[in-house]
Amino acid sequence: MTSRPVTHDRYYWTAIGVIALYLLSSLWISYHRLGWYDEVLTFLIARLPRATFGAALAGAASALPPGYFLLARLFDGIFGPSDGAMRIPSALALAGGLLVTFECARRATDSLHGLAAVALLTTSLLPYYGYEARPYAACFLLMAIAFWLWNHPSSGTKHVAALFGATFLLAFGLHYYSALCLLPYAMAETRWRFPSTKLIAGGFGVLCGAAALWPHIREARKFSERFWAAPSLHALRDVFSEFFPYGMLIAAAALVSIAWFARVEKTMVLPMLPVERLGWLFLSVPMAGLLLGKLATNAFYNRYFIGMLPGVAIAFGCALWRRFGRQPRVTAGIVALLLAVGVGKQVEMTAQPWKIVPPSLPGGAPALRALLTTEPELIADRKVIVPGADAVLGLEARYYSKKPEAYAFLLHKDLAPIGRAHSNLARFTPMRFWSMDELRAHALEAALIDPSEDTLTAMREAGFRTRTLHTAGPAKIVYLEK
């Protein structure tokens, strides 16, 4: 990949401005939003005493490798303690990944089409992970760096190959599925050719990560049973539209832009660049993820494949350059449309961070706010707040509660993976659990949070009446009475 001169300075500085906007807004949002279940796990584990932190990282309480927990602990120690401090690595990684993606696309084309790659990413699910205390933005950054190293003018040297392998080693320490991003590089190699030094180094990095984290991987396998996001063809079909939720709207408007601005003339389309070819091959990553999920992990969700986004965005910029390189107005119109959607959404979230909901739990944030609002009333009634051990809402509310000791998690016989994770977490942080017998003994003191019908039936059979509070919002709160 040869470096091209910066021929459109206004586009170059526009890209830098957009990236700076996403960095600053992500940092702002990071300090002004409630966390959700997965983040709460990060907060709790990262703040454990040193003596128990290592044991918790061994996979007992989370299926993720230890990479981001270590980052969160470091940043919380320097800039915290606060939830926002643990999200700083994600904000920095988002901005860094956007910058590296822009540079890769700019080197292959020009500044305008590098900006097009960044603009496409602003309309994807990526920006959300810039203000979440999870490893996905960091995976995006590392995969952008890997793409840059693979296509670097000095990519044939051993030190670049070593850096490429180190990038995959670090990414594997953040998320196991990042190893799938090695597949497009293998596909891009000439058929029947001995693997290049870079590809061997990347594979070696993954193998080293797997060897070092084998105890974690073995523990993480315990979460695969009844996992909430099982692999299926339906999930694979949806994953691409989930990556780009405004995709069809933007495509329709882009076609209008092309029809309006493009000149009616004979056009010679340039051949596909190797960089673009490699980028499109990253669309195979979710397909490989489906196969891995079916054969081994029983886990498949869009964010696991976030490492494919740099390649796809760079390929998008290169494709526009090949077709409309001599008609920059067309690309500029598409870029303006993409930025209007992406930046507009980011500005809205910055102004109203309470509207942010995790993509995998859209109803969770309203329920959490409602329960926290109702909590003083429950405490005033001298109630023990009893969510189910399998519920995510209970752990979220307990974390943000001013009276965490008022919570007790209700156990039942067949605990799902979340309930087992809570039981494991209780080994490291104080958490109270009640059995059904204990609930019967303390029924008049209990405020049940979203109880199952089986629980309510059991309590009615034990001679108790149920009364549902009407001030709980989305969260159903039930008192037990004689």
Q: Which of 35, 132, 55 is nearest to 426 (CA)?
A: 55
Strand 477-481 with 433-434, pairing? unpaired
Closest CA to 45 of 69, 67, 78, 68: 69
Q: Is 154 helix (H, G, I), strand (E, B) or coil?
A: coil
Q: How far is the C-alpha of 3 from the C-alpha of 1, rounded, in Å?
A: 7
Return the higher-pLDDT residue of 92 and 370. 92
Helix (H, G, I), strand (E, B) or coil at 341: helix
Bridge partner residues of 477 (DSSP): 449
Q: What is the mean predicted confidence (pLDDT) over 140-162?
A: 91
Check residues 251 and 242 and name the one with the higher pLDDT: 242
When pLDDT is cut at 50, 70 and 90, the band that residue 267 belongs to is low
Sorted by sequence, the CB contacts under 8 Å of residue 200 that are 6+ apart come out as: 161
- Per-residue pLDDT band for 470 (boundaries 50, 70, 90) equals low
Burial of 7-32, coded b for 16+ CB within 10 Å and e otherwise, reads: ebeebbebbbebbebbbebbbbbbeb
Give the amino acid at 48: L
Phi, psi of 63 (to 5 degrees): -85, -5
Closest CA to 372 of 342, 403, 343: 403
193 token code pair: 């050719």
Cα(388)–Cα(411) distance, integer angstroms: 7
Start-to-end Cα distance in the chain? 76
CA dihedral of 361, 362, 365, 366, whole degrees rounded to 10: -140
CA distance 10 to 416: 54
Decide: 34 and 369 in contact? Cβ < 8 Å: yes
Which residue type occupies 115? L
* Helix ranges restricted to H, 109-157: 111-122, 136-150
Matching residue, tokens 């603009």: 119
Decide if pLDDT at 192 tops 60.
no
Peptide bond into 127 cis (omega under 30): no
E strands, 289-405, where?
384-387
Report percent pLDDT > 70 for the chain. 94
Q: What is the mean pLDDT of residues 298-313?
A: 95
Q: pLDDT above 90 covers what percent of the chain?
A: 58
Which tokens is 324 given?
Answer: 């409309």
pLDDT-based confidence at 172, cuts 50/70/90? very high
List Cβ neighbours of 325 (8 Å cut-off, separation of 6 or more): 109, 110, 113, 270
Match 């965005």 to its residue by tokens.
313
Report how far residue 455's alpha carbon sits from residue 109's, in angstroms, rounded to the nearest whole number.
62
Concatenate the DSSP letters of all residues of 312-362 into one string. Answer: HHHHHHHHHHHHHTT-HHHHHHHHHHHHHHHHHHHHHHHH-GGG---TT-T
What domains does the chain contain, in order, with CATH numbers? 9-355 (no CATH), 364-481 (3.40.50)
pLDDT above 50 (res 157): yes
Taking the alpha carbons of 333, 336, 340, 343 in that order, is the dihedral positive or negative? positive
* Burial 289-298, CB ≥16 within 10 A → b, else e: bbebbeeebb
More confident residue, 422 or 7: 422
- Residue among 303, 297, 309, 292 nearest 134 (CA): 303
Confidence of residue 79 (pLDDT cuts 50, 70, 90): very high
CA dist 204 → 163, 167, 174, 179 (Å):
12, 11, 16, 11
Q: Is residue 59's pLDDT more than 80? A: no
What pLDDT is attached to residue 406?
93
